[in-house]
Chain A
Amino acid sequence: MKNSVHVIVFAGILAVVCSILLYAVTQFTEPFRKMNEETDKDRNFLSALGVPIGKNVRPKELLGIFDKNIKVRKLGKITIYEYIPETSASGKPVAVAVPFSGAGFWAPIKGVLAFEPDLLTIRGIRFYQQEETPGLGGEIASKWFQNEFKGKKIVSNTGEAGFKIVKSGEAAGVNAVDAITGATRTSERVQIMLNRVAKELYKERKNYVR
């Protein structure tokens, strides 16, 4: 009996101490974590859009660059991020970014797709949140994969909206890139996400390009 009391008291104290510790640490670190996540996202948007940023730019400066150069607005249901350089006199956007997200192989994938002002030609792509298998699906975060997208279009030669990720070596069309060998599932899921963006954007496009 005495023994059981000890067990219960010990377990109770341990639970309370652990909970208080965890609560205190998460509360204390929250603003720092939020700040990191936010700047990381902004950095990816800026880099996809091709906004010049220094290598060791501080988080606060980065937010400044974002605020000065990027205009956020709605196009239909889609939120778009227009890059209008602060030095530009015409005030016309140089590039437009559209965020996208979807289910990955292990965890949700979030990324951003940047277009030329025609909203058809891809200027850059970044994945700012992904937990795919390193070395396989994780390659979506690598330069060679992202560089494949530059200059590709979200419509096929026959004018149909959509984007394809095909087996390496297959004749790549104007709206297709090579998939990652050994990461078929990740490639398929990224294709689904990009297809959705392509179709939605193509629908809204006539309201944008004048």
Chain B
Amino acid sequence: MSDNAVSLPSAPGNIKPDRKKYRETFFGGIYTTNPVTVQVLGICIFLAVTIRVQNSIVMGLALIVVLTGTNLFVSMLRAYIPRRIRMIVEVAIIATFVIILDQLLRAFYWDMSKQLGPYVALIITNCIVMGRAEAFAIQNPPLISMVDGAANGIGYLWILVAVALVRELIGSGTILGFTILSTSWYTKNILFLLAPGAFITGGLLIWVINAINLSLKKEKAK
């Protein structure tokens, strides 16, 4: 059966990637090719959860688990997945994995599942999961694919938390639910709880990160 599978030209087969590749993959997900600031993926959920720091942390952790898991399964099956229907197969794997995770959370971690609410099911449609399966896991061996998944999850987590800190502080006057700006003198800025708040904060963050990268590059060139 595996003879029929169309292997991708870049599939390295059994060649073990060296340490450098692992390091590059890891830091790529976290910073250099960060899912939000560089790939601009997973923005729909980014808009929704960054209202609260707590929601962002929970979502980020959930995504780390999902990305690592789906990348593993897609990578293990990569030799057998017919090229023509590979995206449908990826979606099926992702959806099955996420629904099972959701059911288990509901059964054994009720409080956490209540906090996540509708977001868990939304992970299925998070472009990062599909993006990593398609861009990485389908052409790389399982172990490094898991590293790629986890790294992109961590990259997503820290961006979510960074943006949520700003949005929750300005929008609700709190951080992690603790009041920082008292309502006695601070008027909450509702704009930051709505989608534009996320675009403004996220846009500024991307600008800052790009500026830092540019100055680093210039320094290297000197």
Please name all residues of chain B whose beta carbon is closer than 8 Å to the beta carbon of A15 when the two chains form the complex. Answer: 92
> What is the CA–CA distance of A106 and B48 in the complex, to the nearest angstrom?
13
B190 within 8 A of A: yes
Known contacts A6-B82, A10-B81, A33-B107; is-contact A131 B118 (Cβ 8 Å): yes
Which label, helix, strand, loop or mixed, suits the secondary structure of the B interface?
helix
Which residue of the partner chain B has the closest CB to A136?
B193
Please name all residues of chain A whose beta carbon is closer than 8 Å to the beta carbon of B114 when the two chains form the complex. Answer: 40
Kindly supply a per-residue 1/0 record for chain B positions 152-178, scoring 1 wherever the CB is within 8 Å of any chain A CB and 0 otherwise: 000000000000000010011000000
> What is the CA–CA distance of A14 and B117 in the complex, to the nearest angstrom?
28
Task: Determine whether the beta carbon of A22 is less than 8 Å from that of B190.
Answer: no
Kindly supply a per-residue 1/0 record for chain B positions 181-196, scoring 1 wherever the CB is within 8 Å of any chain A CB and 0 otherwise: 0000000101001100
A107 within 8 A of B: yes
Determine, out of A24-32, A89-97, A116-124, A159-167, the stretch whose residues face the partner at the interface: A24-32
Task: Determine whether the beta carbon of A29 is less than 8 Å from that of B82.
Answer: no
A63 within 8 A of B: no
> What is the CA–CA distance of A27 and B176 in the complex, to the nearest angstrom?
36
Task: Determine whether the beta carbon of B96 is less than 8 Å from that of A21.
Answer: yes
The residue from B81, B110, B117 contacting A40, defined by CB atoms under 8 A apart: B110
Task: Determine whether the beta carbon of B99 is less than 8 Å from that of A22.
Answer: yes
Task: Determine whether the beta carbon of B85 is less than 8 Å from that of A33.
Answer: no
Size of the B side of the interface (Cβ < 8 Å), in residues, is 38
Known contacts A6-B4, A106-B118; is-contact A135 B171 (Cβ 8 Å): yes
Kindly supply a per-residue 1/0 record for chain A positions 104-119, scoring 1 wherever the CB is within 8 Å of any chain B CB and 0 otherwise: 0011000000000000
Task: Determine whether the beta carbon of A36 is less than 8 Å from that of B188.
Answer: no
A171 within 8 A of B: no
A207 within 8 A of B: no
- Chain A residues touching B, range: 20 to 34
Task: Determine whether the beta carbon of B92 is less than 8 Å from that of A18.
Answer: yes
Minimum CB–CB distance from B131 to chain A (whole Å) comes to: 21
Which residue of the partner chain A has the closest CB to B194?
A182
Which residue of the partner chain B has the closest CB to A135?
B51
> What is the CA–CA distance of A58 and B92 in the complex, to the nearest angstrom?
38
Known contacts A135-B51, A135-B171; is-contact A181 B100 (Cβ 8 Å): no
Kindly supply a per-residue 1/0 record for chain A positions 1-12, scoring 1 wherever the CB is within 8 Å of any chain B CB and 0 otherwise: 011011101110
Please name all residues of chain B whose beta carbon is closer than 8 Å to the beta carbon of A135 when the two chains form the complex. Answer: 51-52, 168, 171-172, 193
> What is the CA–CA distance of A99 and B85 in the complex, to the nearest angstrom?
49
Known contacts A14-B89, A22-B96, A106-B118; is-contact A181 B103 (Cβ 8 Å): no
Task: Determine whether the beta carbon of B52 is less than 8 Å from that of A134.
Answer: yes
Task: Determine whether the beta carbon of A107 is less than 8 Å from that of B104.
Answer: no
Task: Determine whether the beta carbon of B96 is less than 8 Å from that of A18.
Answer: yes
Task: Determine whether the beta carbon of B100 is less than 8 Å from that of A25.
Answer: yes
Known contacts A6-B82, A10-B82, A134-B51; is-contact A26 B103 (Cβ 8 Å): yes
Task: Determine whether the beta carbon of B100 is less than 8 Å from that of A7.
Answer: no
Task: Determine whether the beta carbon of B82 is less than 8 Å from that of A7.
Answer: yes
Task: Determine whether the beta carbon of A10 is less than 8 Å from that of B107.
Answer: no
Minimum CB–CB distance from B164 to chain A (whole Å) comes to: 10
Which residue of the partner chain B has the closest CB to A32?
B107
The residue from A7, A21, A36 contacting B107, defined by CB atoms under 8 A apart: A36
> What is the CA–CA distance of A186 and B21 in the complex, to the nearest angstrom?
50
Task: Determine whether the beta carbon of B84 is less than 8 Å from that of A7.
Answer: yes
Task: Determine whether the beta carbon of A33 is less than 8 Å from that of B118.
Answer: no
Known: A40-B114, A136-B190. 11 other contacts (CB 8 A): A2-B4, A6-B5, A11-B85, A14-B93, A18-B93, A18-B96, A25-B103, A26-B103, A32-B107, A134-B52, A135-B168
Kindly list the 5 A-B residue pairs having the minimum CB-CB distance in the complex, ordered from nearest. Answer: A32-B107, A29-B107, A6-B4, A135-B51, A182-B190
